[in-house]
Chains A and B, each alone.
Chain A
């Protein structure tokens, strides 16, 4: 027993958040690996389909750690720069030569990060009943970009050309869940409900100019500044699911995860702004709210097999990412106004205009022996981020994934599993928006092509995106 707990304590040492990977958008839920799906009868079902808890058959404890490496290269197109200033040209913009060099070109990161899953559940001796508590991180991303060459002329250069969207930061939602399930044996139908406490956080620092351009200088002085956002919220969400076993070993599952806060969220905290070119005096912090919406998610799947011999699985998920139209950073001093370009509360509006996205997966298991299960799987996940608003901070693209793994069932009720998943992202090469001349006679990137209002201006993130992720999933389950 002591040995068992030592395994769990060791895995529990690992924490932070998962890379922006797997599934769609920020939906990174892949705990349980190939065993994490809406037809599961294991503790992973606390998230994927709470109805699966009705199949626990006893008391279980599960710990999982996802250990991921992430490689990301963004090469910003010089054609994305708002205004290039030729030598001697006055006004605001990016000076030709060294200015263009520090405002375009290659940015890269290589991060190694981990994400936990913990759950405990029991039938309390009641056949067909299941209850569980769990903690995990289904939504999240974290990045820390490599520094580039510094400049004696442009103090922002060292933070890289991707700095207008992120230098380093975190966005994540952590879930603490309590769920119940029951199986109606005559119908072979299970239903389950879950209540989630969702802890969301955004902590990001980025380069910023007051007008949303990527100008380095203005009027002979510094225009590039910095903004730091640190906000969080605690919201509720619900989950529900059904599991049906029409014939032995054929299981069909469907589940629904609601949006956190059942709609738009408001995260509260503070923002630091250093976007003035004059001397910095006083406190740069101010209270701020950030409004955003995370999606609800529907999952469906089917599995069939022969116990301890073979099993095949097919499942899909659909996330309503179209609810994420923008992220609004708002002051808390104005009594009126919301997330609008003319709002007296507006500090920064980040356009997203994401699209609904879905993914499919095929997976199989084969038992080499009574206690050794080999697993393999492959899938495709679509991108939630359209070309018009793709940028390095919250990146997504269509992706393929391939998994190989194994589960070892030891005497005494301990299962240990190890899987490796490789995610393959095709390169995304985004063309510049093009430039237009504004009322003052200077050039700025053309937002109208993307249907983005001028009040939501952010620099053009055109360029080449090259992204790859590999994940080791290590988990342990114990049956008491």
Chain B
């Protein structure tokens, strides 16, 4: 075999080897493959407007890691005449170095929404909020999110629903698949005696 033919054969055959990584395809394939495993939270039964006014422990299970719920102290105020519901909430620290467990941390969030006269459902749009690191058990950093609560006034002591919106910092992550629930927190009752609930009960 001529040397020239050998050289051309060797180098040309190299073009058949290997292949460039296709990381986009690998990523997209996982998104498709994992779709049946993704959680769609249960939405509660909405049966009509109920006066939910009072102080509650609000638990939020964020889809990023629902095993690490975020806790808030929340005050609901329902006006049955105007069918409006307002909420003022603040994150509660959880066993973070330097911050006592249960201490309110960060800013207080507020939102007002209307209650559906037929089924008692409501939407509370907080806009952009910051959950400081001490109140965020998922990441050791402040998190900014556009937060919306959808739920209904299920009873005087319990309400639940889904969270929507998105985390915008430090990374952009959808909150789809997240849920929330509240249990009444009467004055004088210790936080550690309350049962944290983070979503509507499944059937």
Contacts and interface: CB of A to CB of B under 8 A. Distances in A.
* A and B associate in one complex: yes
Interface of A: 3, 6-7, 10-11, 13-14, 16, 65, 67, 90-92, 111-114, 142-144, 155-156, 158-159, 167-170, 203-205, 209-211, 215, 218-223, 226, 228, 230, 272-282, 284, 286, 331, 333-334, 341-347, 416, 439-440, 442, 454-455, 474, 476
A16 B15 CA distance: 10
A10 B7 contact: yes
Given A226-B30, A344-B169, A474-B11, 13 more contacts: A6-B8, A7-B7, A92-B68, A156-B34, A169-B21, A211-B139, A222-B34, A274-B31, A278-B178, A281-B174, A343-B170, A344-B141, A344-B144
B170 A279 contact: no
Contacts of A210: 64-65, 138-139, 173
Given A344-B142, A474-B7, A278 B168 contact: no
B172 interface: yes
With most chain A CB atoms within 10 A of its CB, the pick from B4, B31, B64 is: B64
B141 A341 contact: yes
Interface in B22-37: 22-24, 26-27, 30-31, 33-35, 37
A278 B30 contact: no
Contact of A346 (B31, B170, B175): B170
B172 A331 contact: yes
Contacts, number: 215
Contacts of A333: 168-169, 172
B171 A286 contact: yes
B190 interface: no
Contact of A11 (B11, B19, B30, B94): B11
25 contacts: A6-B8, A7-B8, A11-B7, A14-B11, A92-B67, A113-B18, A168-B23, A204-B23, A205-B27, A218-B68, A219-B39, A221-B38, A226-B31, A228-B27, A276-B63, A279-B38, A280-B174, A331-B170, A344-B170, A416-B7, A439-B95, A440-B68, A440-B137, A455-B140, A474-B10
With most chain A CB atoms within 10 A of its CB, the pick from B10, B19, B23, B37 is: B23
B11 A10 contact: yes
Contact of A211 (B12, B24, B65): B65
A389 B79 CA distance: 58
Q: Which 9 A-B pairs have the closest CB atoms?
A: A278-B177, A278-B63, A219-B66, A221-B39, A92-B67, A205-B23, A168-B21, A218-B67, A112-B17
Nearest to B25: A205
Given A14-B14, A341-B141, A223 B65 contact: yes
A155 B39 contact: no
Interface residues of B, number: 60
A11 B19 CA distance: 17
A13 B63 contact: no
B112 interface: no
A362 to B, nearest CB: 28
Contacts of A215: 65
Nearest to B97: A439
Given A7-B7, A273-B171, A416-B7, A280 B35 contact: yes
Contacts of B171: 273, 286, 331, 347
B96 interface: yes
B12 to A, nearest CB: 6
A210 B63 CA distance: 10
A275 B64 contact: yes
Contacts of B22: 168
B176 interface: yes
Contacts of B168: 333
A274 B11 contact: no
B38 A228 contact: no
B172 A286 contact: yes
Contacts of B96: 439
A114 B170 contact: no
Contact of A144 (B7, B21, B39, B95): B21
Contacts of A113: 17-18
Given A16-B20, A333-B169, A278 B27 contact: no
A280 B11 contact: no
A204 B21 CA distance: 8
Interface string B65-77: 1111000000000
A277 B27 contact: no
